Amino acid sequence: MTAGARRQASRFARPGVLVGGIALVAAVPLITDDIYYQNMAILTFLLAIIASGWNIMAGYAGYVSLGHSAFIGIGAYTAGITAQRWGVSPFVVAPLGGVTAALVALLLGLVTRRTRGAAFVIVSFALLQLLGLIARNWTSMTEGSKGLLLPLPTWSIAYQYWPFYYALLGLLLLSIVMSAAIKRSKLGLGLVAIRDDEDKAAGIGVTTPLYKSLAFIASAVLVGIAGAVYGYYVGFVEPGAMFDIVLSVEAVLAALLGGRGTVWGPVLGAFLLEPLSEVTNSHLGGSNAGAFRIIIFGGLLLVVTLVLPRGILPGATDLLDRIRRRDRVGVVGRRLSEAPVPQAPASRRADAGAASEVLLRVSDVSKRFGGVRALDGCTFDVPAGSITALIGPNGSGKTTLFNAIDGGYAVSGGQVEFGGRPITRLSRTGRTFAGIGRTYQLPRLFGSLTVLENVAAASGQFSLRALARSAVSGAEAARARELLDFVGLGDYLSARAGELSYGQRKLVELAQVLMLDPELIMLDEPAAGINPTLISRLAELVRALNETGRTFLIVEHDMQFVLSLCDPVIVLSRGTVIAQGHPSEISRDHEVVEAYLGEDYVPQPVPAAAAT
Amino acid sequence: MIELRAVAAGYGGGDVLQGVDLTVAEGSITCIVGPNGAGKSTVLRAISGLLRPRQGQITFAGEPIGGWPPARIIAAGIVQVPQHGGLFGDLTVRDNMLLGGYVIRRDRARIRRRIAELEGAFPIIRERSGDKAANLSGGQRRIVEFARALMLEPRVVLLDEPTLGLDPRASQLVFDSTQLMQQLGATVLMVEQNVRFGLKLASHGIVMERGRVLLADNADALLRRSDISALFFGSGAADAAPVEVVRS
């Protein structure tokens, strides 16, 4: 999304066009003194601001809200009440509307700790209704359904609605600038990662509660200020109009029409939708205008979903791309370059782990799913500096164990210690920052990000400053490129991750984990679906990283890979450790052979010279 | 049986297949090998109709099938077993089998006969008939997928990395089952990253690189080619491990 969007931004928002467009819009009140058009423009700006804010929460972070106009109501009421009590102009207290809206958004953000997807849509709608109820019943504050009367404008009538017009235009420009800045930043990259796969994002160092809180505040604050201005504009604030679902739905429709997740899409959508709504109100259906409007908007939504499922801007960009790319060859897998194994930097975490002999201690860990015991009193140690293998039949609990270690699952019993400290209570991201990184058996990449962005999104250390930095830049980007070069995907940097083959996605995920620079690297079947030549390079890389002090825990069925690389080998069967030891012992262990390798297999030694 | 001539196809980012020529002999087990992203799975998708070729010809038993919708290609006798997640986990093994015969669902007698035949070949279909597919192990699931693919008595079965994520025992089961499919009369075209496994199982091998076919030969001959081995099958593919597990 972002690479395409950037290209699209440069195409649609070249500076000249941009400045010209703004000048034109700014000049409208000077050209015409028709109040009708000023009113239409004011409502368009308002809708564009709501849609743009909604887009940060729903388009970037993936939390679709059906109550975004609530922030308009909150802003309007805050400004109305304070202006009345303090006897000042609502313009003066408009920023307070933004603050209140941001606080409410922060509360709504807390809900997302437990609620996602469709449930969040309902929660956001409920918030809108709840605020309406409060406004209706807290009469000492809001004057209930009677409504709150705001002071009359104090400026000369010759200026008509100009102050409202320019205030909202300014807020709209600010919204666009903020939306673009977020999209370009590390924060924006993290938000898209959250949208694509929130749990995975937490596992690569995206502190999801913080990212979401920032996104929710950003999506509400300007809408709240705009609400204050709007309240002043209509002069009369009452619950029905201020907490109206229709405005929320219009904002959603505008964003979907123009292109969700893009900077300009919601604005474009609002500029198309609001005038259309005015036309249907005044020229169609007469007394039945309301019904006509619903039919036209409903029909429009239908057409958008069918013809332009991703909206006008992304649709247009895709089309242009397809035309430009016609007859061009795509990138395809090549033979591996002779590039050396990328140098493993010295571990940043020299302090931890080195102290103790055991890096990871799993004690009596169990995990039940309903009546099924996936892990049953699992106990073992991963020595610091080792390459430990975890083998066992399909369904023996290897991946469940990975999830118990990295925080994907809460264990039903037992204790996990990392570097001597218990980590069972740490969050997913907390364990990532502590130094645990893992890959998945079926790679989980962020499908709408490019390959390079996928890798650059990973970060093993928390830094508040980094959030504002450009998403893919500097030393990080260089490191990401180097890692991708190593896994043979240097030609694919700007390919969308969703377009890659299984093996390629696996390799991108490996690069992603290496980007975290974890102390314990857990690989879930790293060799499955990988070309044999690359497997031996993979083994070289594991050894090189191991020599710099990184510890590995590897689940793998490729016995050649396991037995030549790993020591010790831990064998899991039915959720319990049934054997552990040196590879040569394991491959002769009767129980292991029976449980895992099959009775009709016998181990055969080959000349020691071949061993590494 | 299947022939591709100068086939070009891709996903939007340009062509992944850049003029693929290959032939799959009737009754053979043919295995495609090559680096990650060389276009191996894309060849299968182009044959099964999941991806529409942009250029070139695909013929099946002499008939051009390029550009046909997937349903028509299945009806013509080509069935694909996807890379992973092919079974409906909440349905029983038997229901999954019945879905394999969905296009002939009105012909109940044929479906019953076919399931009985397949139960003979793959006993697990009967033994776990009432179990949800999600409760089967990885290897068992793969076997059910194979059996389901045979419901329509296809002439060609396309296998995309059949041993992916399977433990050594289950891989052996897949090995035997693939041979069984061939004995039951299907021509098999497979993609396998476990190169030695694939070429041992196959009668014919095809090496792909950069969206083209590099060479095609008997599987045994390919395994013996040291130059090809070094490039694609891992260094010293024959015997590099300190301990190798072989079949007694």
User: ipTM of this complex > 0.85?
Assistant: no
Transcribe A224-291 into DSSP letters. Answer: HHHHHHHHHHHSEE-HHHHT-HHHHHHHHHHHHHH-TTSSSHHHHHHHHHHHHHHHHHHHSSGGGHHH
Measured CA to CA, the distance from residue B119 to residue B133 in angstroms comes to 16
Element (H, E) at A605: strand A601-605
Measured CA to CA, the distance from residue B168 to residue B190 in angstroms comes to 19
pLDDT at A216 over 80: yes
How does pLDDT run across A396-431, given as a tens digit for each residue?
889 899 999 999 888 999 999 999 899 999 999 999
Option in A495, A559, A610 nearest B239 (CB): A610
Worst-scoring range by mean pLDDT, A18-22, A526-530, B50-54, B229-233?
B229-233
Say which residue, A546 or A8, is predicted with more confidence: A546
Q: What is the pLDDT of residue A347?
A: 57
The token pair at A179 is 């939306």
Strands B2-10 and A569-573, bridge-based pairing: unpaired
Quick one: closest CA in B to A539, which residue? B234
Worst-scoring range by mean pLDDT, A99-113, A219-233, B86-100, B160-174?
B160-174
Q: What is the pLDDT of residue A601?
A: 47
pLDDT at A377 over 50: yes
Q: What is the pLDDT of residue A598?
A: 59
Give the torsion sign (CA, B99, B101, B103, B106).
Answer: negative
pLDDT at A13 over 60: no
How many beta carbons lie within 10 A of that of residue A503, not counting itself?
Answer: 25
pLDDT at A336 over 60: no
The token pair at A391 is 């083998």
Looking at beta carbons, which residues of chain A come within 8 Å of B241? Answer: 559-560, 563-564, 606, 610-611
Q: What is the mean pLDDT of residues A292-311?
A: 82
Q: What is the mean pLDDT of residues B32-48?
A: 91
Q: What is the mean pLDDT of residues A170-198?
A: 95
Measured CA to CA, the distance from residue A257 to residue A603 in angstroms comes to 63
Q: Which of A197, A196, A214, A204 is nearest to A56 (CA)?
A: A214
Q: What's the mean per-residue pLDDT of chain B?
A: 85
Question: Residue A598 CA to chain centroid, in angstroms?
Answer: 44
Q: How confident is the model at residue A240 (pLDDT cuts 50, 70, 90)?
A: confident
How are the residues of chain B apportioned to helix, strand and coil, as percentages rounded to the nearest 5? 40, 25, 35
Cβ distance of A532 and B233 shorter than 8 Å: yes
Determine the distance in angstroms separating the CA of A112 from the nearest CA of chain B, rounded to an integer. 29
pLDDT at A2 over 70: no
Q: How confident is the model at residue A604 (pLDDT cuts 50, 70, 90)?
A: very low
Option in B41, B168, B239 nearest A598 (CB): B168
Say which residue, A45 or B241, is predicted with more confidence: A45
How does pLDDT run across A560-578, given as a tens digit for each residue?
888 889 989 999 988 899 9
Worst-scoring range by mean pLDDT, A8-22, A551-565, B180-194?
A8-22
Q: Which of B86, B34, B63 is nearest to B211 (CA)?
A: B34
Q: Tell me the three state secondary structure of residue A387.
A: strand
Q: How confident is the model at residue A535 (pLDDT cuts 50, 70, 90)?
A: confident
Q: What is the mean pLDDT of residues B4-13?
A: 85
Q: What is the pLDDT of residue A258?
A: 92
Give the torsion sign (CA, A472, A456, B161, A199).
Answer: negative
- Phi-psi sector, A600: left (phi>0), alpha (psi -120 to 50), beta: alpha
| Percent of residues, chain A, with pLDDT higher than 70 | 89
Q: How confident is the model at residue A328 (pLDDT cuts 50, 70, 90)?
A: low
Cβ distance of B241 and A560 shorter than 8 Å: yes
Q: A236, A34 in Cβ contact below 8 A?
A: no
Preceding amide of B35 cis, omega within 30: no
Measured CA to CA, the distance from residue A64 to residue A86 in angstroms comes to 37
Q: What is the pLDDT of residue B234?
A: 58
Measured CA to CA, the distance from residue A510 to residue A526 in angstroms comes to 8
How many beta carbons lie within 10 A of that of residue A458, not counting itself?
Answer: 26
Q: What is the pLDDT of residue B189?
A: 96
Q: What is the pLDDT of residue A327?
A: 59
pLDDT at B245 over 70: no
The crossing angle, in degrees rounded to 10, of helices A289-307 and A245-258 is 30
Measured CA to CA, the distance from residue A193 to residue A200 in angstroms comes to 8
Q: Which residue has the tokens 């673009």?
A: A180
Strands (E) located in B68-135: 78-81
Beta bridge partners of B218: B204
Q: What is the pLDDT of residue B194?
A: 85
Q: What is the pLDDT of residue A329?
A: 58
pLDDT at A234 over 70: yes
* Chain B interface test: which of A319, A396, A531 (most B C-beta within 10 Å): A531
How does pLDDT run across B136-178, given as a tens digit for each residue?
877 788 889 988 988 888 999 999 999 888 888 888 888 888 9
Q: What is the pLDDT of residue A9?
A: 53
Looking at beta carbons, which residues of chain B come within 8 Å of A504? Answer: 36-37
- pTM beyond 0.90: the answer is no
Q: How confident is the model at residue A19 (pLDDT cuts 50, 70, 90)?
A: confident
pLDDT at A324 over 70: yes
Determine the distance in angstroms separating the CA of B89 from the nearest CA of chain A, rounded to an integer. 15
Q: What's the mean per-residue pLDDT of chain A?
A: 85
Element (H, E) at B151: none
* Chain A interface test: which of B167, B175, B190, B207 (most A C-beta within 10 Å): B167
Cβ distance of B236 and A395 shorter than 8 Å: no
Q: How confident is the model at residue A118 (pLDDT cuts 50, 70, 90)?
A: confident
Q: What is the pLDDT of residue A339?
A: 56
Q: A268, A44 in Cβ contact below 8 A?
A: no
Transcribe A396-413 into DSSP letters. Answer: SSHHHHHHHHHTSS--SE
Q: What is the mean pLDDT of residues A113-140?
A: 90
Measured CA to CA, the distance from residue B56 to residue B21 in angstroms comes to 9
Cβ distance of B172 and A598 shorter than 8 Å: yes
How does pLDDT run across B105-117, given as a tens digit for each residue?
888 888 889 898 8
Q: What is the mean pLDDT of residues A79-89?
A: 91
How many beta carbons lie within 10 A of that of residue B12, not counting itself?
Answer: 11
Q: A142, A238 in Cβ contact below 8 A?
A: no
Q: What is the pLDDT of residue A130?
A: 94
Q: Which residue has the tokens 């969050």?
A: A427
